[in-house]
Amino acid sequence: MPFGSAACIAARSASGPGVRAAAEAQEEEFVALDAMLQARQRAGLTQEQVAQRMGVKQSALARVESSLGSRKHAPSLATLRKYANAVGFRLEIKMVPQ
């Protein structure tokens, strides 16, 4: 199950504005993480292969992939761009009205 879908919807519908606000704040990170993992899967690459293409250790890549879900380490745009290039994608960022 993708991180961004049912989990965030269920959390948003839970009672209490604090719970909803926290879920909405994390939704963007979960959507981004899901997009990264799907891109790697579509490319048919392992973490080790992507790490080699990025010039980093597999453990560093694992931290990047898990960072969006845990909010411990926010990857830089440069890192996200390297990741996208390594899996054969292009990074695209959009700003949309609220």
Tell me if 47 is assigned to some domain: yes
What is the tens place of the pLDDT at every residue in 16-25? 777 777 677 6
Tell me if 1 is assigned to some domain: no
Q: What is the pLDDT of residue 94?
A: 86
Residue 44 has pLDDT above 90, yes or no: yes
Three-state SS for 93?
coil
Tokens of 61: 């890549």
What is the tens place of the pLDDT at every residue in 47-97? 999 999 999 999 999 988 887 766 666 788 999 999 999 999 999 988 889
- Answer for the pair 57, 28: CB distance below 8 angstroms, yes or no: no
Tell me if 91 is assigned to some domain: no
Tell me if 92 is assigned to some domain: no
Provide the CATH number for the domain around residue 16.
1.10.260
Domain count, the chain: 1
Using pLDDT thresholds of 50, 70 and 90, give the confidence band for residue 3: very low
Rounded Cα distance, 87 and 38, in Å: 10
Q: What is the pLDDT of residue 42?
A: 96
Q: Name the nearest CA neighbour of 64 among 54, 53, 75, 72.
A: 75
Using pLDDT thresholds of 50, 70 and 90, give the confidence band for residue 29: confident
> What is the domain range of residue 58?
6-86
Tell me if 75 is assigned to some domain: yes
Tell me if 95 is assigned to some domain: no
Tell me if 62 is assigned to some domain: yes
